[in-house]
Amino acid sequence: MKQAIFLHFFLGVLACLSGFWVNAEDAYRYFTWEVTYGTISPLGVPQQGILINGLFPGPNVECVTNENIIVNVINKLDEPFLITWNGIQQRKTSWQDGVLGTNCPIPPNSNWTYKFQAKDQIGTYNYFPSTKLHRAAGGFGGFNIAQRSVISIPYPQPDGEFTLLVADWYKTNFKVLQQKLDSGNPLPLPDGLLINGLNQAATFTGEPGKTYKFRVSNVGIATSINFRIQGHVLKLIEVEGAHTLQETYESLDIHVGQSVAVLVTLNGSPKDYFIVASTRFTKPILTATAILRYAGSSIAASQPLPIGPTYQIHWSMKQARTIRLNLTANAARPNPQGSFHYGTIQVARTIILENTQAKINGKLRYAVNSISYEDPDTPLKLADWFNIPGVFDLNTIKDKPTFGPAILGASVIGTTLHDFVEIIFQNNETAIQSWHLDGYSFFVVGYGSGLWTPEFRKRYNLNDAIPRHTVQVYPSGWSAVMVSLDNKGMWNLRSAIWSRNYLGQQLYVRVWNNEKSLFTETDIPPNALFCGKAKPSS
């Protein structure tokens, strides 16, 4: 007995020293998710939705950092299906990322079990279907990771918390939307906006005088949103797993794929108040409302709705620059991104990615550095692992924009494990962009207008830039990020705006070294699905 305690203590110390936690102590959470079609009417019109265990939106995952998450996904749709875990870093195991570059899709009427650790992450995330246009029908939900009891958070424990999933929405069936894209047409503006699947009825009740954490994600597919609460201010505490400087805002812009957590103190007179989300940079502006109810209130929320910012790119860019990292706050693990002193690290490589619209075979496509991504039948990760030739070629995409006509291809950027890389997202279009990287948080060091030039490096925030997984790029502008490539694997770098993603605005980053070691990457999971050239011939 004594020995066991000693051993336990000893292992604990070892774990701390080496930076590798012993998993056995971390709890397991099991989920069985049945994915079905069902009729939903979020905008008052019955339509086919994608439900998880009968729910739209799907259930929220609530867990504690480092817990092992086991999700058995049973696909009862008539199409192959995958879920991706937006912002969950899947450390050393891109096998669990749930995108077509890493996983074969789960065929209809079968199931596949994801196994991963929500490792060293605390914060607000979400999940959604990555296949086809499924997410335009639902299948998304919140994914909240709380701190372990030994980790302190840089704000008083809130009296409660709410998860708000804001999504733009089409009344049109997702397969019809997909046919539109397949035939070379862009999608129109969505028909409406939803908060937790409802256009105006979601209600969140709290006690007067108490403080609540609102976790807000933009799980839409097309439009940036602005979020605000009548008569209340929002104290920003967290963005996609990073504790921010706690600035107070009247309203916050949240772009497609992004998440924030804010504290709201119920210090108004006891009644109902409107919670408002409205689209940004669209004509017309779409609005969803929900209700913040003071417990016991019988006074309805009163018009007018609090007004949001009008079409102002500069307002949004200025606000974005105020979202910064709290350097003294605890993180889920020390030095999550390799170092807090990212500003002093030598950049090993600069990659400039320019999005463009293109016509290929007479149809609308979106391209990055003139390559419009198409998923090969064989997931890139399987091709890489089994050395299957002819699936991808590291020379397809270049590090800088090329001005030739766009072509289809399976773009993979080859990088070396632990490289420190600067990525410039150059947007020469008039539409706002939203770029997401799986497996990582990147430091957002700058936003600007026009064409990026090396001169702009002088204006980078090299001190307290926020690390996050999704960054907006303003119309005719650029955003610069820096990332320490410390997570080996095959990682999707994509437009979070789904019609662009579906028509080719994505690529993969292969983070690699030749050393085969479980310390840098896990083995292929025993239940891995095989497809394309990776399918064993019978």
The footprint of ligand NAG on residues 135-174 (CB under 6 A) is: 154
Helix (H, G, I), strand (E, B) or coil at 11: helix
Q: Is 451 in the site for ligand NAG (CB under 6 A)?
A: yes
How many positions of this chain bind ligand NAG (CB under 6 A)? 15
- Contacting residues for 167 by C-beta, under 8 A, at least 6 apart: 57, 140, 193, 194, 197, 218, 219, 220, 221
In 93-170 the beta strands, taken as DSSP E runs, fall at 110-117, 123-129, 141-146, 160-169
Prior bond of 304 cis (ω within 30°): yes
Instruction: Return the residue of 85, 95, 112, 227 that touches ligand NAG, per CB under 6 A.
Output: 112
Q: Is 70 in the site for ligand NAG (CB under 6 A)?
A: no
144 torsion bin: left (phi>0), alpha (psi -120 to 50), beta (else): beta
Q: In angstroms, what is the minimal distance from the CB of 290 to ligand NAG?
A: 27
Binding track over 410-449 against ligand NAG, x by CB under 6 A: ------------------x---------------------
- Nearer to ligand NAG (CB atom), residue 41 or residue 527: 527
d(CA 439, CA 414) in angstroms, rounded, equals: 15
CA-atom Rg of the chain in angstroms: 23
Q: Is 23 in the site for ligand NAG (CB under 6 A)?
A: no
Q: Is 113 in the site for ligand NAG (CB under 6 A)?
A: yes
- Nearer to ligand NAG (CB atom), residue 272 or residue 354: 354
Asked if residue 481 lies in contact with residue 441, where contact means CB atoms within 8 angstroms, the answer is no
Instruction: Return the residue of 245, 313, 348, 407 that touches ligand NAG, per CB under 6 A.
Output: 245
Q: In angstroms, what is the minimal distance from the CB of 77 to ligand NAG?
A: 16
Backbone angles phi, psi at 347, to 5 degrees: -75, 125
In 406-469 the beta strands, taken as DSSP E runs, fall at 407-409, 412-416, 420-427, 433-437, 442-449, 467-468
The footprint of ligand NAG on residues 347-376 (CB under 6 A) is: 354
Instruction: Choose among 492, 381, 479: nearest CA to 440.
Output: 492
Q: In angstroms, what is the minimal distance from the CB of 426 to ligand NAG?
A: 7
Helix (H, G, I), strand (E, B) or coil at 349: strand
d(CA 383, CA 393) in angstroms, rounded, equals: 11
Q: Is 528 in the site for ligand NAG (CB under 6 A)?
A: no
Query: What are the CA-CA distances from residue 311 to residues 188, 282, 314, 317, 422 (Å)?
Result: 19, 8, 9, 12, 30
- Nearer to ligand NAG (CB atom), residue 103 or residue 230: 103
Q: In angstroms, what is the minimal distance from the CB of 286 to ligand NAG?
A: 29
The footprint of ligand NAG on residues 310-339 (CB under 6 A) is: 326, 328-329
Token pair of 280, please?
A: 């940004």
Instruction: Return the residue of 47, 60, 72, 402 that touches ligand NAG, per CB under 6 A.
Output: 72
Q: In angstroms, what is the minimal distance from the CB of 524 to ligand NAG?
A: 13
- Nearer to ligand NAG (CB atom), residue 47 or residue 246: 246
The footprint of ligand NAG on residues 92-111 (CB under 6 A) is: 111
Q: Is 520 in the site for ligand NAG (CB under 6 A)?
A: no
The residues that touch ligand NAG, with contacts defined as CB under 6 A, are 72, 111-113, 154, 245-246, 326, 328-329, 354, 401, 428, 451, 527
